[in-house]
């Protein structure tokens, strides 16, 4: 019974905000999800790569960067931090325009590379795009909160190395990992962010599963007897991890604890992105901003069709338009290296030579 | 120096070495300075710190040919005062060599077409009295003429964007400036007090001596001391070591003793044919205005180092300076055959093709630069122009938008000037007007923009204001023949034949092969004859 209760559908807790790039989405998807907080908001930003010359606002949350047009809120972009490869700020100084800064974001999604260029139209302040960079840095440095990690350096001297916002709730000894034939004796750490198992004989044999990546927690019968089974999300590999804990009371207790912690986490996820806003005045302003739901501010007629990613997509390609996907890598005997498969009728020599 | 937090069990000397190897000079300096405070006699650390300081301030002085006004006008290193054409770099205008004429390709100064690639010391013509070349110096009234020349050089060499070289001109400016800047980086005075060192003692230790020598050259710019050290060191090496000879040569060259430098480099190249020594040797020959000797040396070096790109490039530059465009282009193509990503060769070829009526090919070259990851406002500007002239209108304005985004004040006037050209191309004369006005608002010395504005004003029938624009343009640059020709034409139309005649003369001095000017002159002379 209990496992049915807690076997939620994936869609409820599935978090796409930091893993995808979406264009022109319905307005309700621009609202902050649970656990997402607005960290900074910049006004009068132009989306230059899209070439529409539109003014808009840039909003930075702990999961993504959103650009929303001022003229029509349906023109918008949502860029998840996880897709970002690099962020650069270039500034140009001139008497004509004052000092303007441009933000170059290079991203990658499903083998397609997109480039975004945001330009500040108003004369800049010195902290304009620095927040975007530092939020991304904070996101980049806190991946353990959100990603499953196999055989990482998460254990030191039989103790869990805690993340900044983490508290360990319980430690369970004598947990058998059922991934191998003979099983492995190890230890569970259950915290408010993740569950970690490591083998007693080899600390480097471990797994760290954040609640964000857990699809379901069940108790199932296996050939080793009743076992705790954790399914993970398809984007983190879709693993099925089985653990055997003796006796049965302990197993039930662990299952209950894990389920309730997972549920609490789902209601209010901790993404681990820590970012301090520089001045307090800004903070109060942001609170107001955060309380405004984007979709409430504009009574928009809901158009019922699948949210298609219109022709907008093409104008954001980082390379020349028309090259969407990378071709498969093959071995190139001339260079002795693996290269992307050449197009029909081209050779390495032709591509290299400019003459 | 505060104590650095070093990881446990890590040897600080090793760490400083590793940082130096990864070119993290400041971090390496921090560690070695802290170590030297503890033990000032640690030679290994002293060596590390010296190297770090040297590399931090290192500039590739093979690429630098700073010639200040004093160097150009006051010293007389070349032998021939009136060399035969083709044997000297002196600006004698000859538009042979199959290069686009002045009517097509803009000039930086009389007889030097705009290049595709600016290096420090891209020698545009020497500031002398217009196209008379160096002969002007030996004119009858020696001193007075020199004074006049100096005045002219100082006037044209102000740091607007029409300087004589690609940087503001002072007496070998860059070396002096870097010396003062490097002192600021160190707290509590300089690291090594060169004046107090016993150089003889150091010269006996080969490793320390080399590090110290480079430190004195690149960090202190104290050529006299460096020379002393080099002299002692070559003595201890019994005059066998090519490296010390090359360094001696470098010191002599920077002190302006070209003949001594030549001797040192020559014997260094004989002892050990290195590419760098050859390049420096040829730099001296170019400084002495003996391009053909330089070419011989380059070719000889190319036999020992076949297909060496830097030699080919240097050769191409010399041919460019001698107005032998065809040969230079061939050489640039050779460079690209061996190194398809050489920015200088690609840029020069691109500009050559653009001005010889092949914008599509130029576009291909510039796109190559873009693929290589060059993103500068100049590149986007060139791409925009190529797109426009090869009829790819969909890309053109996008490129110019990119350009405007990246541009700072120094490049903006030219960019607006180019947008003005595009506007003329699409027939939007109002936009063109605005563009040229913006160009002038940013750079009040933009002669080409004045000229085009004048033409547009003339089209509107405002003869007076057109003339004013031409006059302004003439005031700010003596090198753009269009301004003079247009003014002459306008004066002729208004019947001011005397003025027109003067302008025609000036235009002809700048561009002798211009047919229309000759036509105008003919008409003027018939007018004068009939009076």
How close A127 gets to chain B, by Cα (Å)? 19
Using a CB–CB cutoff of 8 Å, tell me whether A119 touches chain B: yes
Residue B271 lies in a domain: yes
Long-range pairs for A158-167: beta carbons < 8 A, 24 or more residues apart: A158/A187, A158/A203, A160/A189, A160/A191, A160/A196, A162/A191, A163/A193, A163/A272, A164/A272, A164/A274, A165/A192, A165/A193, A165/A270, A165/A272, A165/A274, A166/A191, A166/A192, A166/A193, A166/A194, A167/A191, A167/A192
How close B407 gets to chain A, by Cα (Å)? 6
In chain B, what residues touch A104 (CB-CB under 8 Å)?
Answer: none
Nearest chain B residue to A91 by CA: give it: B406
8 Å CB contact of A96 and B333? no
In chain B, what residues touch A94 (CB-CB under 8 Å)?
Answer: 407-409, 412, 442
Task: Please indicate, yes or no, whether residues A179 and A38 belong to a single structural domain of this protein.
Answer: no
Domain tally, chain B: 3
Residue B490 lies in a domain: yes
Task: Please indicate, yes or no, whether residues A196 and A157 belong to a single structural domain of this protein.
Answer: yes
Taking each helix axis from N to C end, the angle separating B275-287 and B242-255, rounded to the nearest 10 degrees, works out to 20
98-117 of A, contacting B, C-beta below 8 A: 100, 102, 117
Here the CATH number for the domain that contains residue A175 is 2.30.29.30
Out of B280, B305, B330, pick the residue that ends a domain.
Answer: B305
Using a CB–CB cutoff of 8 Å, tell me whether A151 touches chain B: no
Task: Please indicate, yes or no, whether residues A2 and A136 belong to a single structural domain of this protein.
Answer: yes
Please give the pLDDT value at position B98. 57
Q: How far apart are CA B130 and CA B136, in angstroms?
A: 9
Using a CB–CB cutoff of 8 Å, tell me whether B408 touches chain A: yes
Residue B38 lies in a domain: yes
Among A52, A117, A317, A354, most B C-beta atoms within 10 A, so best to mutate, is A354
Task: Please indicate, yes or no, whether residues A137 and A1 belong to a single structural domain of this protein.
Answer: yes
8 Å CB contact of B368 and A95? no
What range defines the domain where residue A157 resides? 148-265
Residue A293 lies in a domain: yes
Taking only the tens of pLDDT, chain B with its 531 residues reads 445 566 777 888 999 999 999 999 999 999 998 888 888 788 888 889 999 999 998 888 777 666 666 666 666 666 666 677 777 776 554 444 556 677 777 766 545 667 777 776 554 444 433 333 333 333 334 455 455 555 655 555 444 444 444 554 444 544 544 444 443 445 555 677 777 778 888 888 888 888 888 888 888 888 888 999 999 999 888 888 899 999 999 999 988 889 999 999 999 999 999 999 999 999 999 888 889 999 999 999 999 999 899 999 999 989 988 888 889 999 999 999 999 989 999 999 999 899 888 999 999 899 888 888 888 888 999 999 999 999 888 888 888 988 888 887 788 889 999 999 999 999 999 999 999 999 999 888 888 999 999 999 999 999 899 999 999 988 887 778 889 999 999 999 998 999 999 999 989 988 888 889 999 999 999 988 987
Q: How far apart are CA B35 and CA B17, in angstroms?
A: 13
Out of A243, A265, A287, pick the residue that ends a domain.
Answer: A265
Task: Please indicate, yes or no, whether residues A337 and A239 belong to a single structural domain of this protein.
Answer: no
Nearest to B498 by CA among B524, B474, B520: B524
8 Å CB contact of B340 and A354? yes
Q: How many CB pairs under 8 A join A and B?
A: 41
Residue B105 lies in a domain: no
Residue B52 lies in a domain: yes
Using a CB–CB cutoff of 8 Å, tell me whether A248 touches chain B: no
Mean pLDDT of A57-67: 88
Task: Please indicate, yes or no, whether residues A129 and A169 belong to a single structural domain of this protein.
Answer: no
In chain A, what residues touch B408 (CB-CB under 8 Å)?
Answer: 92-94
> How do residues A261-301 score in pLDDT, each as one tens digit?
988 888 888 888 887 765 545 565 566 555 555 555 444 55
Out of B281, B305, B329, pick the residue that ends a domain.
Answer: B305
Closest in B364, B401, B409 to A95, CB measured: B409
8 Å CB contact of B442 and A93? no
Task: Please indicate, yes or no, whether residues A10 and A130 belong to a single structural domain of this protein.
Answer: yes
What range defines the domain where residue B505 resides? 478-530
Beta strand residue intervals within B123-214, DSSP E: none
In chain B, what residues touch A91 (CB-CB under 8 Å)?
Answer: none
Q: How far apart are CA A30 and CA A76, in angstroms?
A: 9
Using a CB–CB cutoff of 8 Å, tell me whether B364 touches chain A: yes
How close A91 gets to chain B, by Cα (Å)? 8
Using a CB–CB cutoff of 8 Å, tell me whether B396 touches chain A: no
Residue B225 lies in a domain: yes
Please give the pLDDT value at position B384. 92
> How do residues B432-478 score in pLDDT, each as one tens digit?
999 999 999 988 888 899 999 999 999 999 989 999 999 998 888 77
Using a CB–CB cutoff of 8 Å, tell me whether B488 touches chain A: no
Radius of gyration (C-alpha) of chain B in whole angstroms:
27
Using a CB–CB cutoff of 8 Å, tell me whether A122 touches chain B: no
8 Å CB contact of A353 and B336? yes
8 Å CB contact of B407 and A94? yes
Nearest chain B residue to A100 by CA: give it: B405
23-82 of A, contacting B, C-beta below 8 A: 48, 51
Nearest chain A residue to B335 by CA: give it: A355
Nearest chain A residue to B337 by CA: give it: A353
In chain B, what residues touch A319 (CB-CB under 8 Å)?
Answer: none
Out of B240, B271, B305, pick the residue that ends a domain.
Answer: B305
Residue A214 lies in a domain: yes
Domain tally, chain A: 3
Using a CB–CB cutoff of 8 Å, tell me whether A94 touches chain B: yes
Taking each helix axis from N to C end, the angle separating B25-38 and B12-21, rounded to the nearest 10 degrees, works out to 150
Q: Is the pLDDT of residue A309 over 60?
A: no
Please give the pLDDT value at position B302. 94
8 Å CB contact of B405 and A102? yes
Nearest chain A residue to B364 by CA: give it: A354
> How do residues B20-46 score in pLDDT, each as one tens digit?
999 999 999 999 988 888 887 888 888
How far is residue B334 from each of residues B311, B341, B344, measured CA to CA in Å? 11, 12, 13
Out of A250, A265, A280, pick the residue that ends a domain.
Answer: A265
Q: How many CB atoms lie within 10 A of CB B273?
A: 15
8 Å CB contact of B407 and A354? no
8 Å CB contact of B368 and A48? no
Nearest to A51 by CA among B431, B401, B371, B423: B401
Q: How far apart are CA B20 and CA B2, in angstroms?
A: 20
């Amino acid at each position: 019974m209990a496992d049915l209760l807690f076997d939620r559908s994936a869609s409820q807790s599935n978090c796409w905000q930091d893993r995808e790039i979406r264009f022109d989405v319905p307005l309700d998807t621009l609202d902050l999800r649970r656990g997402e907080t607005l960290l900074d908001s910049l006004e009068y930003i132009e989306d230059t790569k899209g070439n529409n010359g539109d003014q808009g606002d840039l909003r930075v949350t702990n999961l993504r960067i959103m650009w929303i047009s001022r003229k029509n809120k349906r023109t918008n972009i949502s860029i998840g931090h996880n897709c970002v490869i690099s962020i650069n700020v270039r500034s140009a100084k001139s008497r004509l325009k004052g000092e303007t800064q441009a933000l170059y974001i290079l991203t990658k999604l499903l083998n397609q590379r997109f480039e975004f260029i945001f330009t500040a139209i108003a004369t800049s302040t010195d902290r304009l795009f620095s927040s975007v960079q530092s939020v991304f840095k904070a996101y980049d440095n806190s991946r353990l909160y959100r990603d499953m990690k196999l055989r990482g350096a998460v254990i030191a001297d039989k103790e869990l190395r805690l993340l900044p916002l983490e508290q360990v709730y319980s430690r369970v000894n004598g947990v058998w990992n059922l991934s191998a034939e003979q099983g492995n004796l190890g230890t569970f750490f259950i915290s408010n962010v993740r569950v970690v198992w490591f083998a007693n004989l080899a600390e480097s044999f471990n797994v760290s599963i954040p609640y964000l990546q857990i699809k379901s927690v069940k108790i199932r019968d296996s050939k080793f007897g009743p076992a705790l089974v954790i399914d993970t999300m398809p984007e983190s590999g879709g693993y099925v991890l089985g653990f055997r804990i003796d006796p049965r009371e302990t197993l039930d207790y662990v299952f209950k604890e894990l389920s309730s912690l997972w549920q609490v986490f789902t209601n209010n996820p901790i993404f681990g992105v820590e970012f301090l806003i520089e001045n307090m005045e800004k903070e109060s302003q942001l609170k107001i901003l955060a309380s405004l739901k984007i979709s409430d501010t504009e009574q928009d007629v809901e158009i019922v069709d699948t949210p298609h990613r219109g022709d907008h997509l093409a104008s954001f390609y980082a390379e020349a338009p028309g090259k969407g996907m990378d071709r498969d890598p093959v071995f190139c005997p001339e260079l002795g290296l693996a290269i992307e498969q050449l197009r029909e009728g081209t050779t390495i020599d032709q591509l290299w030579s400019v003459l | 120096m505060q104590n650095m937090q070093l990881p446990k069990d890590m040897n600080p000397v090793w760490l400083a070495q590793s940082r130096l190897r990864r070119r993290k000079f400041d971090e390496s300096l921090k560690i070695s300075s802290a170590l030297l405070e503890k033990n000032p006699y640690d030679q290994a650390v002293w060596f590390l710190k010296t190297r770090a300081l040297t590399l931090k301030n290192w500039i590739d002085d093979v690429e630098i040919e700073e010639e200040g006004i004093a160097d150009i006008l006051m010293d007389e290193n070349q032998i021939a005062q009136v060399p035969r054409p083709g044997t000297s770099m002196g600006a004698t205008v000859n538009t042979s060599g199959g290069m686009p004429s002045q009517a097509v390709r803009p000039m930086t100064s009389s007889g030097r077409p705009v290049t595709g690639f600016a290096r420090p010391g891209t020698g545009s013509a020497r500031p002398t009295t217009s196209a008379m070349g160096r002969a002007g110096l030996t004119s009858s009234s020696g001193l007075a003429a020199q004074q006049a020349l100096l005045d002219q050089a100082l006037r044209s060499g102000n740091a607007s964007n029409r300087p004589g070289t690609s940087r503001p001109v002072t007496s070998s400016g860059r070396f002096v400036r870097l010396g003062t800047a490097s002192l600021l980086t160190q707290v509590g005075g300089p690291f090594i007090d060169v004046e107090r060192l016993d150089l003889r003692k150091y010269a006996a230790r080969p490793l320390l001596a080399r590090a110290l020598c480079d430190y004195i050259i690149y960090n202190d710019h104290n050529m006299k001391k460096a020379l002393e050290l080099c002299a002692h060191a070559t003595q201890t090496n019994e005059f066998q070591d090519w490296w010390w000879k090359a360094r001696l040569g470098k010191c002599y060259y920077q002190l302006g003793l070209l003949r001594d430098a030549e001797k040192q480099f020559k014997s260094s190249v004989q002892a050990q044919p290195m590419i760098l020594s050859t390049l420096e040797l040829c730099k001296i020959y170019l400084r002495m205005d003996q391009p053909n000797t330089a070419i011989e040396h380059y070719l000889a070096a190319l036999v020992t180092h076949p297909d060496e790109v830097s030699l080919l490039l240097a050769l191409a530059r010399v041919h460019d300076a001698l107005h032998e465009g065809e040969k230079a282009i061939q050489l640039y193509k050779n460079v690209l055959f061996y190194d398809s990503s050489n920015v200088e060769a690609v840029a020069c070829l691109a500009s050559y093709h653009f001005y010889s009526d092949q914008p599509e090919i130029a576009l291909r070259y510039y796109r190559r630069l873009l693929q290589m990851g060059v993103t500068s406002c100049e590149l986007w500007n060139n791409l925009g122009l190529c797109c426009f002239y090869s009829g790819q209108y969909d890309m053109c304005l996008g490129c110019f938008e990119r350009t405007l985004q990246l541009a700072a004040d120094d490049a903006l006037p030219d960019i607006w000037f180019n947008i003005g050209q595009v506007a003329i191309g699409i027939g939007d004369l109002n936009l063109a007007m605005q563009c040229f006005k913006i160009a002038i608002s940013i750079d009040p010395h933009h002669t080409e923009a004045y000229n085009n504005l004048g033409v547009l004003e003339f089209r509107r029938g405002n003869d007076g204001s057109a003339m004013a624009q031409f006059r302004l343009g003439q005031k700010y640059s003596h090198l753009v023949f269009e301004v003079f020709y247009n003014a002459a034409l306008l004066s002729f139309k208004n019947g001011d034949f005397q003025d027109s005649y003067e302008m025609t003369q000036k235009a002809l001095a700048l561009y002798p092969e211009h047919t229309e000017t000759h036509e105008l002159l003919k008409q003027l002379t018939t007018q004068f004859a009939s009076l």
